[in-house]
Homo-oligomer: A and B are copies of this chain.
Amino acid sequence: MVALWCCFCCAAERFPHHWIHIGQIGKFLRLARAAGCRDVVFIGALVRPSLWQVHPDFKGLRVLPRAIAAYRGGDNHLLSGMGKLLEDEGLHLVGAHEVAPEILMPEGTLGRVQPSERDRADVGLGLDYLHAAGRFDIGQAVVVAGRHVLAVEAAEGTDAMLGRVAEMRANGRVRAPRGTGVLVKAPKPAQDRRFDLPSIGPRTIEGAGRAGLAGIAVVAGSTIVAEFEQLVTAADRANVFVLGVPSGSEQ
């Protein structure tokens, strides 16, 4: 039995689950132990809670100073701090890619659309940027067209960034023709792969299509593909390529 620590879990409808408040560490540990869990998997994006939204139980109160120390700093810092806290309680943290390797992006393209040489140059520039910016623990995504960076993701998330590119194309701020440009996502260089791996799903494809992009590039083996078949169908329909670059290309 694996305990899932999950913010917005699509699996919740189908599997036995419990909802807990942020900060109910004691309740989480009690439920996990009662179900015989020894492993924990973190799933989903992190929206940093306000400290006022945390409702700690007794155990939560005891670990509050450590949680606050983890909260200060970037997302990686927060996640690894919370991870260590659970490991000190005897739980073993594993990555989603370890329990379900089939959800990871393979090398090469999904669907029938292929990137052009120009697209590959944009992918290269995007990977370089993400590598250089990675130590700042910012976002994991960037949009590049014609070797020009159009948008950088930070707290707003990938979908909002793609919406911005669509808007800039519509209002003429971005003049690169439709059908050019790529969304590039990559894990941060020092990222603990047990937390918050970049992910793509049909919604990402639709966002890229609305933004008029040629395609999406992610790092093979380090990116979660949600709803694989729907994603491939959406990519072919939107005429968008989906490319898995070999791990190490981002360095």
Contacts and interface: CB of A to CB of B under 8 A. Distances in A.
Interface in A108-159: 125, 128-129, 132-133, 135-139, 143, 146-157
A74 B144 CA distance: 11
Interface stretch (A42-50, A192-200, A233-241, A242-250): A42-50
A11 to B, nearest CB: 24
B49 A175 contact: yes
Interface in A6-60: 47-50, 53
Nearest to A126: B136
A164 interface: yes
Interface string A165-200: 000100011110100000000000000000000000
B154 A149 contact: yes
B136 A129 contact: yes
Chain A, interface SS category: loop
Copies in the complex: 2
A156 B129 contact: no
A73 interface: yes
Nearest to A71: B146
Nearest to A177: B50
A145 to B, nearest CB: 9
A156 B164 contact: yes
Contacts of A154: 143, 149-152
A147 B48 contact: no
Nearest to A128: B136
Given A50-B175, A132-B133, A133-B132, A151 B155 contact: yes
Contacts of A168: 155-156
A156 B129 CA distance: 18
A139 B173 CA distance: 14
14 contacts: A47-B172, A47-B173, A74-B148, A74-B149, A75-B148, A132-B136, A136-B149, A149-B155, A150-B155, A151-B154, A152-B152, A155-B173, A156-B168, A156-B173
Interface of A: 47-50, 53, 72-75, 125, 128-129, 132-133, 135-139, 143, 146-157, 160, 164, 168, 172-175, 177
